[in-house]
Every structure is written in C-alpha cells, then in structure tokens.
Structure 1
Amino acid sequence: MPERCAPSLPLRADLVGEQPYGAPQLDVPHLLNVNENPYPPPAEVVADIAAAVTEAAGTLNRYPDREFRDLRADLAAYLTAESAATGLTTDHLWAANGSNEVMLHLLLAFGGPGRTVMSFAPTYSMYPEYARDSLTTWKAGTRRADFSVDVAEAIEQIRTERPSVVLLASPNNPTGTALDSADVRALAEATADSGPDGGATVLVIDEAYAEFRREGRPSAVTLLGEFAHLAVARTMSKAFALAGARLGYLAAAPELVDWLRVVRLPYHLSAVTQAVARAALRHTGVLQAQVAELRVRRDETVTWLRERGLEVADSDANFILFGRYPDRHEVWQGLLDRGVLIRETGPQGYLRVSIGTREDMAAFRGALEEVTGR
C-alpha cells in the first residue's frame, strides 16, 4: 500500500505488508484474464432487468427484504431443474454479494480463532484471504501432479489437521479440474466426524463454474439430502453473464443456512441486487445459450495447446491452465503487447486463459504463436 502522512494506526499485525486483491483491469481488445462470460446479456434480458430495477427503485426509501425469500425460492427452483436435485426448498438456499461473500459468511460462522480451514493447493487465491479476514488458521493440503485430488490422501490430511471447514473448488480455480460424485461422497463421509472436537467438518464444494463441466459430472447438490454438513456454493457471475451484478449463492441443510443468517450484515442484499437476480433467473435458457459453445471452444483450445507441446490441465471450467514457461511473465507481457490479456496465476511457469468469443480465441492463438514461436 502507498505510504501516506498519517498518525500511526492500530493495524492488525497479520495485515502488515498485505496488498488488496485484484486482477489487472486494463483497456485491451481481448479480455481473457478473469473468467468472465464474453457475451453480454441479450437485449430482452436487459429490458427485463431494467424494468425490475425501475420497480425496485420506487421502494428504495425502505430497507430491502432482509430474508429475500422470493429470490431464494427462485434459486432453489433453478438448482432443482439444473441438477435434478430433490427436496430443495427456500430454506436450503442462501445468497450474498458474490460467492466471495458467501464464503466469508461460512468462515465467520464456522471458522474463527483457534479453528482451521483447509483446501488443496493450487486453488483459488482468495481462500487464504477468507481465512485471514475471519481470523481462521489456513492450511493447504496437496494435489497430484496433474492437479487432481487424491481423495485417500486428502482424507488422511483432513484427519490430521481436524479442520472446521474444508473448501474444495470443483471445477478448481486456476486448474479447471473437477471432482466426480464418488470423490465428493467419500469426502462427505470422511468429514462427518473429522472436525476439531470429533464432530463434523463443514465440507464446502465451490461450484462457481459448474455449468461448464463436461457430461457425466453431476453437481454435489444431488448429495445434500444425505449430508447435513455439506454446502454447495454457486454464482451467477459466470454462466449467467452477470459478473457485474455480484450475486453468489449456496445450497445446504436449513440448519447450516440458519447460522449464516446470524453472521450476515443487516440487509446485506440490496433491493436492486435482488431484482436483477430474479429477472435474470427468468431468462436462464437465453443467458446460458452460449455455455455449450464455450465448452466446445474450451476443448478445441486444449487440443490446440497440447498439439504445441504444452502442458495443459484437464478443464471442466471456462478457462484453461497451460505452460510451462521458463519466464511466464515474458509470455504474459508479449500477449498483452498484442492486445490479449490473460492471467499470470497458479504454479510457477503456468498461465491461465479464459475462453472468449471466436474472435478472442483466434487473437489469443495468433499472439501466442508470435510470442513463443509455436
């Protein structure tokens, strides 16, 4: 942080030297660095959202619906249809300003001083920050060389650490790798008594990119009826093309959701946010029309990268991790100089590219060939 002339402030010791989170936001022709959906909402969706916001604007002198039960009911209906889940009701759903806030609610409720949250690296770079902000100890387990999770080894590490929360992204960010149902079930069974006092560990499956997964990988939502300590996080940022709306949500047993209600800030979801999300959910089919197309383009890009001798992680998301480069920053800068912004993240030597439009990906391929000669 820049130094300013100010009195000494009582900053928490664990924040000294920390920097705010943030990927570069640059004005370039091809933005492929933060896993956004490259297609804006269609005009008919924009019109419906605008009408809903106009209606909400007439009530902005009042606080919003604190429990947002109508939105939760709509989200329950969407998940039921999308994942063939059974028994999901309004009480099983929670929502907040992005899945980031959902995750923070989870750690405020189930983490804290003297407790541990665990994940398996490499994984989403915000997980340690949720731990830090909630004063929860962070522990990172390990993955296989191909970035998949060795479930038997993971269970052993969990039983050693006895965490109160385990965060597992599926598909994982930044690698794109996903868990299958058998793996999630095994982890759910093992975490039923792996908590710090012999009780359950809250197992969170972060499915921010779930709509992009390949066939044969059902959502962990289908297991919620069997495991009261399982929570499944989702977002409308990716498949719904609503990154700017900031709406993330979670499905879990009602008793788990009730504890999130305790730690949330008052009226944390604005009336405008609720109106936008509900309007978007009325257009699920239209908003997700390009998801299948993006999956095809992802798989084509994986093949193209591998044909050039690069190491590429299997991806069930709308992005690809690839490498390895002796100097990945040089490659990143070379692409940026040619108008293509991707992400310098993950293990050393690797880069991550989001899947964009056909034009975006053609520009990416051309720029990469120019920079690397292959």
Structure 2
Amino acid sequence: MGRVTSLDDLPLRDDLRGLTPYGAPQAPLPVALNVNENTHPVPEEVAGQIADEISRALREINRYPDREFTELREGFADYLGHGLDASQIWAGNGSNEVLQHILQAFGGPGRTAFGFAPTYSMYPLLAQGTGASWKAGHREADYTITPDDAAAQVEAADPDVIMLCTPNNPTGTPMGLDVIEAVYEASRGVVIVDEAYQEFAPHDAPSALTLLEGRPRLAVSRTMSKAFAFAGARVGYLAADPAFIDALRLVRLPYHLSALTQAAAMAALRHAPTMLRMVDEIVEQRDRISATLEALDYTPHESWANFVLFGGVADPKAVWQGLYDKGVLIRDVGIPGHLRVSAGTESETTAFLEALASLGDAPSVGSKA
C-alpha cells in the first residue's frame, strides 16, 4: 500500500485546499507572552476545590454527563447578571467551539460571515471550516470604527453572520455600544459580540449584555480562558435569546461538555471573586507596558484587553527573533510595523521590557506608526 505523503493525495474539500491550520508558536521559553493567556496560576485555595469537584465527578464517569449542563448554565447566568437565566446561556469547549456552533447553525455553504479587520484570526478559519465565505471590513487607522461607517459596510456586505470583537483582538480596541446597535439595525443576520476580554476593560465599561433585550439575533460570547486563568480547561459560553440557544442545540454533538469540564467550571464560578482578583494586577502590568513602550519611542495602541499591540517597529521579524533569543516569546500578528505582547506577571513584564530595551530598535531606526 502506498503511503500518503501530502494533502494533495487526499480528496480534501476544494475550499480547504491551500489553507493552513491556526497556530501560534509554541516554544519552551522562560517568558511566554504570545497567546494572551492569563500568566497567573489558579489561586491555590481554589485549585484544591476544583480538584475535589473533579474527583467527585470521576466517581460517576462511567455515565454520560448532563447533556444540557443545567447547573453550569445557571452558574454562568448568575455570574453575568443582567437578569439572565439558564435558558439564555450556552457553553462549549472554549469560545471557539461556541462560535463554531453559531456558524454551523447560521452560516454554512452559500452563506457569508463578516468582521472588521484586523480582528481575531480564527473568525475566517471557523467560517471556512463550516463552509461559509468570509468577508473582511475595515477600520480607521487607529482601529476604531464609527456607527455610520460600520452600518454602511454591513449593508454593503449583507452577511449572514457578523463577528464583533470588543475589546478587539489583536488590537485591544473597545467598540461602543452605539456601533453594535448600528450594526444590528443594518443587518438581517445574526450579530455576535465576542467579549473574551471584557473583564480587563474599565470597571464602568458597559457590556453588550445590556443590548440583548428585544434583539433575538444578538449573542454575546465570553470565555473562562482569560480572566479566569482557565485556558487549559477549555470553557467558553454565550448569552442570547432562548430561541437562539435552541438553534445551537441543532448542531452540537451529544454530551459535548464532559462531566469533568462541567465540574471544574462550576467550582471556578463558585469562587469567581478569588479567581478574578488577579485581573487588576494584569491591568496594572498592561498599562505599565504601554507607558514604557511609549518611553522607548514605540507606539502602543489603546487596549482594554490583557495585551498591548504596539507600532513603530522597523523590523518586526528581527525584533521578534531578538526577543526570542533572549527567552521572551511575543506575537507577530502580521500587521506591518507592529507586534503584540500579553501582560504577564510583574517579573515577566520586566523581562520583556528589559529585553526589548536592550535591542535598541525604535529610537534609532523605528518610526512611530
């Protein structure tokens, strides 16, 4: 039997040919600040409680889990507030799976998904993976967008699914509720507001959750990966009209959330104040990064997330490699003249800033952008 050595030897879908899978560099470096993880570990007092709940779930692991993950949905509704109840909550193995469910239900072959670029790089991949086409809109030079411009672009694209990331990845840019309202009114499809980084926004920043009432085509997505330091647990969720949730049931796999995942997430939610107390420290390090980058003659963009996108980088690949060689991993997101760094612990942030300063790129050969 001949050995298959290439994708070209397989009957792959034509629309997947030439694509590459999503992936950020993984390397065993001392300081990894490239994928917007929460670099603070789960607090010790909570880790023990989570382990106990997982241990209890193991005693019944021979049985299928609660297919409707009712207790977890109630926990998310209570955490989000805004008068939500379990009928308005959905969850999956990371917010990417939740977004995939949406595209399976409302996208698919012959349909279009849309977002304002640059934005989360998984959106077009999820669209393509479910058979939908991807259309990219544009932002202003500072990555903001006005309600009128947003509405005009949506009307022109006429998409079936609209992805709005706020605070936006990879730029950190917030999006006003007026923009979301304008997009919703201008569209006929579903509108997804991805608030993966909402907990890092100012405490008085309004959430799109306040817009759900009376908007059955609107959904607000969240994740436990970032603020809850739960990236390895893979838990994402959303809030929407109950009918929207019913649509997602049509495409989910049976028992898609394991009993262990449900147990771990519930334990973390029961200790939400403790789990979230590192958020203020991360925001402090994020703002420290921005201030120091500016002092080094780089151009940090306003960020409401747990990372900073900065411009004024004359040679992003060389700077990335220089930091790598010094044991610091950050992200080249493909925006000319820019790099992105996650806010880490105080010591990790110091290591990044000192390594960057030692390269001496921006003041002499860089230019503000």
TM-score normalised by structure 2 residue count: 0.94
- Amino acid of the residue matched to residue 258 of structure 2? S
Q: Which amino acid aligns with 2:222?
A: R
Q: Could you list the per-position Cα deviations for residues 182-203 of structure 1 after superposition, in whole angstroms to 9, with x for gaps in the alignment?
A: 222232333xxx32xxxxx211
Q: Which of these residues, 345, 348, 372, is aligned with residue 336 of structure 2?
A: 348
Residue equivalent to 2:367: none
Look up the match of 1:175: 171
Contact 1:181 1:217 in 2 (8 A): no
Q: How does 1:65-144 map to 2 (within 5 A)?
A: 65-80=66-81, 85-86=82-83, 88-144=84-140
Specify the alignment match of 1:259 in structure 2: 247
How far 1:6 moved relative to its partner? 9.3
Q: TM-score, normalised by structure 1?
A: 0.93
Secondary structure at 2:226's aligned position in 1?
A: coil
Which residue of the partner structure matches residue 26 of structure 2? 25
Structure 2 partner of 1:58? 59
Alignment of 1:245-256 (within 5 A): 245-256=233-244
Shift of 1:348: 1.5
Task: Measure how far apart 1:221 and its partner are.
Answer: 0.7
In structure 2, stretches of 5+ residues that fail to align are 364-369
CA distance in 1, matches of 2:39, 2:197: 14
Secondary structure at the residue paired with 1:263?
A: coil
Structure 1 residue ranges, 4+ long, deviating more than 4 angstroms after superposition: none
Hey, what's the Cα distance between the residues in 2 that align with 1:337 and 1:104? 36
Deviations 1:283-320 (A, max 9, x none): 10111111012112211211211222222211000000
1:152-191 equivalences in 2 (<5 Å): 152-190=148-186
Q: Deviations over 1:50-102 (max 9, x none)?
A: 1111111111111111100110000000000xxxx12x110000000000000
Corresponding position of 2:366 = none
Deviates more, 1:148-157 or 1:25-34: 148-157
Q: Hey, what does 1:198 align to over in structure 2?
A: none
Count of aligned positions: 360
Any idea what the Cα deviations from partners look like across 1:210-257, whole Å, max 9, x if unmatched? 000124421101111131111000000000000000000000000001
Q: Distance in 2 between matches of 1:211 and 1:144?
A: 25
Q: How does 1:317-332 map to 2 (within 5 A)?
A: 317-332=305-320
Deviations 1:99-127 (A, max 9, x none): 00000000000001111110000000000
Helix, strand or coil for the counterpart of 1:244? Answer: helix
CA separation in 1, counterparts of 2:327 and 2:8?
43
| Root-mean-square deviation over aligned CA pairs | 1.6
Q: Give matches, 1:264-283, under 5 Å.
A: 264-283=252-271
- Structure 1 alignment gaps of length 5 or more: 196-200
Conserved in 2, the CA contact under 8 Å of 1:175 and 1:346? no
1:21 is displaced (CA, Å) by 1.2
- Alignment-mate amino acid for residue 320 of structure 1: V
Amino acid at match of 2:344: G
Alpha-carbon distance in structure 2 between the residues aligned to 1:347 and 1:330: 14
Equivalent-residue separation in structure 2 for 1:45 and 1:27 (angstroms): 27
